[in-house]
Chains A and B, each alone.
Chain A
Amino acid sequence: MANTLIEAKNLKQYFNTPRGKLHAVDDMSFSIEKGTTMGVVGESGCGKSTLGRTMIHLLESTGGQILFNGEDITKVNKKQLIKLREEMQIIFQDPFSSLNPRMTVSETVTEPLLLSKRFSKKEAEERADEIMNTVGLSARLWNSYPHELDGGRRQRIGVARAIALTPSFVVCDEPVSALDVSIQAQILNLMQDLQEKNDLTYLFITHDLSVVRHISQNICVMYLGQMVESSPSKELFQRPLHPYTKALLSAIPSTDVRHKKERILLKGELVSPVNPKPGCRFAARCNYACDRCHEPQKLEKVSPGHFVSCCRVNEIN
Chain B
Amino acid sequence: MLKENMKTSDFLLSVRDLKVVYTSAGATVHAVNGVSFDIRRGESLGLVGETGAGKTTIAKAILGILPDPPAKILNGEIILEDGDLRNLPEKEMRKVRGKKISMIFQDPMTALNPLLTVGDQIAEVVLLHESVSKKEAMNKAMEMLEMVGIPADRYADFPHQFSGGMKQRVVIAIALACNPQLLLADEPTTALDVTIQAQVMDMISALQKKLNTSMLLITHDLGVVAESCDNVAVIYAGEIVEYASKENLFLDPAHPYTLGLFGSLPSLTGDVDRLTPIPGLPPDPENLPDGCSFHPRCRYAAEECKHGSVPFKEVSPDHFVHCHMCHCEKEV
Contacts and interface: CB of A to CB of B under 8 A. Distances in A.
A275 B251 CA distance: 50
Interface string A180-207: 1111111011001000000000000001
Contacts of A186: 277
Contacts of B227: 253-254, 261
Contact of B281 (A44, A150, A181, A184): A150
B193 interface: yes
A149 to B, nearest CB: 10
B275 A188 contact: yes
B50 A43 contact: no
Given A43-B194, A180-B50, A180-B220, A185 B276 contact: yes
A253 B226 CA distance: 8
B264 A185 contact: yes
A250 B198 CA distance: 9
B82 interface: no
A214 B275 contact: yes
B250 A255 contact: yes
Interface string B210-245: 000000000011111011000000000000000000
Interface in B257-287: 260-261, 263-268, 271-272, 274-278, 281-282
A248 B195 contact: yes
Nearest to A150: B281
Count chain B CB atoms within 10 A of each CB in A152, A207, A250, A252 and give the residue with the most: A252
Contacts of B226: 253-257
B198 A263 contact: yes
Contacts of B266: 185, 188, 210-211, 213-215
Nearest to B52: A180
B163 A263 contact: no
Nearest to A43: B193
Interface string A250-280: 1111111110010101100110000000000
Interface string B297-311: 000000000000000
**Contact-residue bracket for chain A:** 35 or more
B51 interface: yes
B274 A189 contact: yes
A210 B268 contact: yes
Contact of B224 (A247, A250, A253, A263): A253
A252 B224 CA distance: 9
B202 interface: yes
Contacts of A215: 266
A180, A181, A184 — which one has the most chain B CB atoms within 10 A of its CB? A181
B267 A214 contact: yes
A209 B251 CA distance: 22
18 contacts: A43-B193, A181-B50, A181-B264, A182-B260, A182-B264, A182-B278, A184-B264, A185-B265, A188-B266, A192-B274, A211-B266, A234-B271, A252-B194, A253-B226, A253-B227, A254-B223, A255-B226, A258-B247
Interface of B: 50-51, 163-164, 193-195, 197-199, 201-202, 220-224, 226-227, 246-247, 250-251, 260-261, 263-268, 271-272, 274-278, 281-282
